[in-house]
Amino acid sequence: MHTAAEEILGEDVIGIPGQNLTQQELRVLVGLANGEPPSKIGSDLKADTISVRHLEASVKAKLGAKTHPHMIARGFTLGVLIPRALCILLALLGALESLDVDGMRQRAPKRIRIASQSRLVKKDSSGSSSQLFSYISATAAVAFLSTFS
């Protein structure tokens, strides 16, 4: 099986590839986090209910979860799920950060931008938080635009 390569946009959450989840497993996780019944998830995947249950069990195992609610919580904790509202907020904050009060673009001096980026990296030496922040920032515009389509 191949790990997920694409993000999945749900109504309330966005599924981000990670934790060795396959595309189908990520779709199941996003569907459950969005409150979809297993029958709808199965019809979207063209899979029967038993296959969906096997995918759920596989997701729980890969995320180290004990129950379905714990599986969704672990998805958020491990960065496989992010709320769409957060993406919209980050997109708006990014847009506002580049504007001054009069609406003119304001550029920060290069050394300030480097210092703020290095602070992100120093917070988490493994790089996972800074990578997640970068990924969220990159997908924020996509999520923001898709809310209007």
Domain boundaries, the chain: 8-81, 84-146
Beta-ladder partners of 9: 14
Residues 105, 96: Cα–Cα separation, whole Å: 10
Which amino acid does the sequence have at 69?
Answer: P
Residue partners of 11: CB distance under 8 A and separation at least 6: 34, 84
pTM (two decimals): 0.64
- Higher-confidence position of 74 and 112: 74
8-9/13-15 β-pairing? antiparallel
Residue partners of 92: CB distance under 8 A and separation at least 6: 144
* Predicted pLDDT at 116: 39
- Higher-confidence position of 90 and 10: 10
Question: Is domain 8-81 annotated with CATH 1.10.10.10?
Answer: yes
Residues 35, 86: Cα–Cα separation, whole Å: 18
Least confident of 13-17, 60-64, 90-94: 90-94
